[in-house]
Structure 1
Amino acid sequence: MTLANQLTLFRIALIPLFVVIFYLPFKWSYPVSAVVFALAAITDWFDGYVARKYNQSTAFGAFLDPVADKLMVAAALVLLVGVHANAWFAIPAVIIVGREIVISALREWMAELGQRASVAVSYIGKIKTTMQMVAIIILLAFSPDAAPIWNQLGYLTLYIAAGLTLWSMVLYLKAAWPILMENGKE
């Protein structure tokens, strides 16, 4: 078990702690849940860095790392939808989660065809992930009622993340389109 894989597993193990802290009936649950989420986001960056720098890339890590990312982001968005129970929040949350489902299915299908490299992670995908993490940390850190300016900044950042999410999905689908259409003719 490499250090990179241990960091990824640690990120997954943080999810139940994150959920429990989020629901604690204390004012500090907001900033502390944001810190736990931020720690998970940092380990996401750090496990990739460790895997590349120390040549610790493994098939298990390649599988588990994106799963851990999606689990943490989906868990945070589900929790935040409960606090921000409105269409303005639900729309970007659905876009982000829906895109992850579409791209995961696309990558799986392309891998079956031996074309996984056609839908490899792009630079825009990394920017999208960063914006998602920033938006979620802002929205977790402050009670929506207590900090309206931070709430507005969180929404703005979340909408930027949702826009980048759609853009990256279009890029992935565009890259895969010739292969999708070629195999549909058989």
Structure 2
Amino acid sequence: MADITSLILDDHDWFRRQFALMDDLTDAGDLAKVWQPLADLLDVHARAEEEIFYPHLLRRGDDAEEETLDAIGDHNDIRDGVHEAALHPVGSSDWLAAVHKARMANSEHMAEEEDEGLADFRRNADPGLREELGRKFTEFKQVHEGARDLDVSDIDPQEYVDEIEAEIGERPADGSLGIGSLKEQD
């Protein structure tokens, strides 16, 4: 079984190839055949990272909070482009603009994630954990293939990080410093 960082990189390579393939297409039917699986995997991939990868990066990474905030914001931008494209006829100028929006957001996200989040995780997570998360990542993608049963709505990045950090005990959910009342410390 491959580790999660390798699986994420594999998806990134596939995304790049599919967007490049679309550059050579003009027929709406051909564009749809490439775009729909790409759009679906963009949604599933983002949610799989949010469910499996980023909670563990927050537990182990050196600069994980900033990396995660940025990544969740990027996921929202990608989703916005994907969902906007769904509102327009395939191949139309509005559709092309929305696909371009998703592509640009995805390209930026992949570069940052590869240079920052994935590298950070490889430095700080043992190979056994990376393989376990790789298995979970693969299973998640298989279960949610096509993204039809998956909530692919935007996520507030700060709320996401706050919830994960509260779960792992780094920051209380109420936003306090978690040191208790100073009045009780006579």
Which band: TM-score by shorter chain? 0.3 to 0.5
Q: TM-score, normalised to structure 2's length? A: 0.43
Q: TM-score, normalised to structure 1's length? A: 0.43
Greater RCO (Cα-Cα under 8 Å, separation 6 or more):
2
